[in-house]
Structure 1
Amino acid sequence: MITLIGKELAKEGVSFVFYGAAEECSDCRFKASCVDSLKEGHRYTITEVRDVEQKCPIHECEKVKVVVVENGEFTILTDSKGIFEGSSFDFNRKGCSNKDCDFRDMCFPEGISKEEKGFYVKDLGKFKDCPRGNSLEKCIVKIHD
């Protein structure tokens, strides 16, 4: 998928979460190719940076570059049932009352919403440090397009 991103951020391998379009974007002639193809709240990774630049008043150096992005990968902690590399999953983590847990961002990662569908890229093995004693598996996952 092609989009535009601030010139300073346009580097292969950079991941970002799209939080929605700025107010100034509503009248921009590049809106369709810049923000309309992105889904709010999702993480993307830049896979290619092209040599095309455009002016954009909302970015630091007032320039954006054309980039190719794909859905980003996440390292997550999940219930240890049914994890096979390449298999699909529904991300439907149940709530956890431990708001101060050091690992909370892996159980509820930013950029992936509840009931999202994706697939397991890699199983990183059992995770034994859950303060609640839950049986968890550490995995790399990717969301379907």
Structure 2
Amino acid sequence: MIALVGKRMAKKDFVFQYLGGIQECRDCPLRNICFMLSPGKYYRITNVRDKEHQCKIHDLNKVVTVEVEELPVPITVEKKMAIEGSTININNRPCSNIYCKYYELCNHLWLKENMKVKIESVDEQIQCPDGRDLVKVYVRW
């Protein structure tokens, strides 16, 4: 898959999360390339091409053409649902403990309620300060 990233990010094996397009880019002739990634998903740069383009948003005013591969997204799920290879419905149970180191994993900003995701791998048990029985998993949708 082809993408454009800021010049400083354009390094082989660099991993980033695409956060979505911004209003300032709506009139850019390159927007179709920039916006073809999926918000919330993680990508690894597999190849950096020589082609650069002007960009008024990124630092150094340049974006570089790269090839990327999609990576699974880390989230937490209840331990009883953490079965590798299974497809589950996301049931968001927002956590208000913003100081917890797992806050972003537990608050699935990019996943909608009852959205189906496939658990690609099961990682570690999470030591939830609120006592929830959670496991870190990697999912795709």
Interval containing the TM-score (normalised by the shorter chain): 0.7 to 0.9
Matches within 5 A, 1:70-109: 70-109=69-108
The unaligned stretches of length 5 or more in structure 2 are none
> What percent identity do the matched residue pairs reach?
34
**Aligned match of 2:132 in 126, 131, 134?**
134
The unaligned stretches of length 5 or more in structure 1 are none
Alignment size in residue pairs: 138
1:9-52 CA-to-partner distances (Å, cap 9, x unmatched) read: 112232123242241x22222121222x1344x13313322222
Q: CA RMSD in A?
A: 2.4
1:59 partnered with 2:58: yes
The one-letter amino acid paired with 2:136 is K
Give the structure 1 partner of residue 18 of structure 2. Answer: 17
Superposition TM-score, scaled by structure 2 size? 0.78
* Cα displacement (A) at 1:107: 1.0
Give the structure 2 partner of residue 34 of structure 1. Answer: 34
Superposition TM-score, scaled by structure 1 size? 0.76
1:52-111 CA-to-partner distances (Å, cap 9, x unmatched) read: 21122222112111123344433322111232222222222213343443322221155x
The one-letter amino acid paired with 1:15 is F
Give the structure 2 partner of residue 45 of structure 1. Answer: 43
The one-letter amino acid paired with 1:21 is I
Q: Which runs of 4+ in 1 moved over 4 A?
A: none
